[in-house]
Structure 1
Amino acid sequence: MAVKSDPPFRRIADEIARRIDEGELAPGERVPSTRQIARDWGVALATATKALTALRLAGLVEARPRVGTVVAAKERAVSEGGRPPAKRQPPSSSSSSSPFPSPPHGSSDRELTRERIVRAALDIADGEGLAAVSMRSVAARLGVAAMSPYRYVNSKDDLVLLMADAAFGEEGYPVEPPEGWRARLELGARTLWRIYRRHPWLAQVGSLTRPLMLPALMVHAEWALAALDGHGLDPATMLDLHILLYSYLHGIAVHLEREAQAEAATGLSEDQWMDHQTPAFEAIAAATRYPVFGRITDSLKDGYDLDLDTFFEFGLKPLLDGIALIIEAPPTARRPA
């Protein structure tokens, strides 16, 4: 009779547990992220998330905000009662077939709050991507029963909105704004960019045509609109300029998470992927149909690196220059008839 093999997430968890037990991964050292697991083991992000969840519930790893998942600190050599503490057991291959073990004995969700749930979800999304966030994965990280978060949040969709509102609310603006509309818009743009860089998944939430109705996001909108107010612009033009600036930020920020997703899916870094495209790129550059493109790329002896932070700063100046032309133009020339 054939023996059923362990599920992939269990084999991955056992291998990481072995590395921890043998000292290859020391306490406080980062363990592979879900994206790295997905790439190295050739599995889906959901499978990678299950593996880290099993390790977390076994007490072998722990999540640290802004750091990721690390090897948990070992117990003290001698317990308060004078006996050596019980040895932590790695995830067992003979455990229940459930992909998510039960919460540790003695855990309680009496102290569970909506804020803790949102914070845990933010940590998962920041370290592992938005796809890794689920009500079950959040419960596992908090060590509570799988259904406990539903007492505070109705669904994952609601949780994502709460996460976005919390993220946008992490930064505000000075009571005394800088002098001039341009300085105010620059400050607003760079503030939003910092938030997007801190939470790469955030630009995946919502769309330009279906804006998020979030109080914290409205703080940033109010700042931008107040900078444009008092310059003789009609209301529609003010909204157009605000949306133009926001869409510029959002359009660049959306690629922060997409690049991470692409690396996890292909196993190739951005540079490695570009290296694989060299033959196709050279063929296009050499084609006579694209003479300007070929001439420009041929002149770039050191190549061309697209850094999103640098690109954001590069584009912000001409965008604000264009807004200045509209503000300074005669009222009749500001909007087409």
Structure 2
Amino acid sequence: MAEADDVELPRGIALAWGVAANPQRGPKREMSVEQIVDAAVEIADAEGLAAVSMAGVAARLGYTPMSLYRYVSAKDDLVLLMHEDATGAPPESVREADGWRAGLEELYRAQLASYHRHPWVLDVAITGSPLTPNGAAWMDAGLRILADTPLTHDERMTVILLVTGAARWAGIVAAGYARSMRETGADAAEITRREDALFRQLVSADSYPDLRAAVDAGVFVADRDPFAEGLRISLDGVADYIADADGRRKSGAVPARALFEEEDAAIAGDKRYREAQRAQRDAEKQLRDARKVVRQVAREARERSRADSR
């Protein structure tokens, strides 16, 4: 296996870590990578990630697009650097929190606040682990929070992914509501009331009995933060998991299966396998339809029985 020093760094990663070679060609350098990234972030903050282009950034700085390519050789590299700049380093409040639970809750709030400041960050495609200084700093801060727990390194990373994933989902939903508010002029309460009305109109007890029961219970108009509540429940589970660390070690608990199994990847492109999957989905739909018919017939039978007993 090659040593880390033998791995050639992609240009964007090298720029993020400040170890990329400086441009050698072209006229005297009047720009810097930092200026280019700042201009791109300003565009994204104002108009969204889709509005960012090398031509647009160059025009904002008063240069030609080719001038930018001497500093940032591809738009993907620019987006990576924008993400790094917008993410920033974790605030000291994350490291200063009292106890692992308070620390993880602060990590969640800090990451969510970052998404509120730069919601376009959520549109950046995830292509792997965050191999940038600020990305590493957030992971390091999270792992430090759990350093005094009996969890293994793998388990600590799993908990960090749980918390950061919750923050990302909360950020995506918040960004969606903010976009709807800008486009419709309605406030969040109006939007949720309309969603609730649509669910009540479209979701029947025959087709979706449990969802309809939740709608009738008012889950879509409840005055609560389901993501913060979900995090609380998740951390309750983490607390139990930490408390049972010794017992789990002694019992030799089997780790969870890998998310992406080699066997599945090998057969995913097989035509017969895809046809079998399609047949399974069709059969599941037929089963759902059959259950709907059963519920309908049962309801009609109950109504006839009540009518006969009068």
Question: What range describes the TM-score normalised by the shorter chain of this pair?
Answer: 0.5 to 0.7
1:248 aligned residue (150, 157, 166): 166
1:1-337 matches, cutoff 5 A: 111-169=30-88, 171-173=90-92, 177-207=96-126, 210-257=128-175, 275=194, 278=197, 281-300=199-218, 304=221, 310-333=225-248, 336-337=253-254
* SS state at 2:115 partner: helix
CA contact (8 A) 2:54 2:75 kept: yes
Describe the superposition over 1:166-212 as per-residue Cα deviations: whole angstroms up to 9, x where unpaired: 112155325962221112112211111111111111122242x7222
Q: CA shift at 1:303, angstroms?
A: 6.0
| Alpha-carbon contact 2:108-2:166 (below 8 Å) kept | no
Residue 152 of structure 2 aligns with an amino acid whose one-letter code is D
Q: Which amino acid aligns with 2:235?
A: L
Paired with 2:81 and 2:123, the residues of 1 have a C-alpha distance of: 14
Gaps of 5+ in 1: 1-107
Cα offset, 1:221, TM superposition: 0.8
Q: Distance in 1 between matches of 2:116 and 2:84?
A: 16
What is the number of equivalent residue pairs in this alignment? Answer: 224
How far apart are the structure 2 equivalents of 1:187 and 1:135?
Answer: 36
- Retained in 1: the 8 A contact 2:205–2:213? no
Which residue identity is paired with 2:229? F
RMSD: 3.4
With the length of structure 1 as denominator, give the TM-score of the two structures. Answer: 0.57
Give the CA deviation at 1:315: 2.4
Q: Which amino acid aligns with 1:314?
A: E
Q: Distance in 2 between matches of 1:150 and 1:220?
A: 30
d(CA) in 2 for partners of 1:260 and 1:176?
30
1:238: Cα distance to partner? 1.3
Shift of 1:298: 2.8
2:308 corresponds in structure 1 to none
- Counting aligned pairs with the same residue, the percent is 33
Q: 1:171 to 1:239 in 2, by over 3 A?
A: closer
Structure 1 position 245, deviation (Å): 1.4
Shift of 1:253: 2.2
8 A contact 1:125–1:132 mirrored in 2: yes
- Measure, in 2, the Cα distance between the counterparts of 1:144 and 1:277: 50
Offset, 1:143: 2.1
Distance in 1 between residues matched to 2:232 and 2:192, nearest whole Å? 30
Q: Distance in 2 between matches of 1:136 and 1:263?
A: 30
Equivalents in 1 of 2:102, 2:73: separation in Å?
Answer: 41
Secondary structure at the counterpart of residue 147 of structure 1? helix
Q: In the superposition, relative to structure 1, how do residues 291 and 152 fare at CA in structure 2: closer, same or farther (>3 Å)?
A: same
CA distance in structure 2 between the partners assigned to 1:247 and 1:176 by the alignment:
19
Q: TM-score, normalised by structure 2?
A: 0.61
1:120–1:138 CA contact under 8 A, matched in 2: yes
Shift of 1:291: 3.2
Aligned residue for 2:65, secondary structure, equals coil
SS in 2 for 1:289: coil
Does the 8 Å CA contact 2:196/2:215 hold for their aligned counterparts? no
| Distance in structure 2 (CA, Å) of the matches to 1:187 and 1:124 | 29
Counterpart AA for 1:293: L
Q: Cα 1:275–1:255, aligned 2, differ >3 Å: closer, same or farther?
A: closer
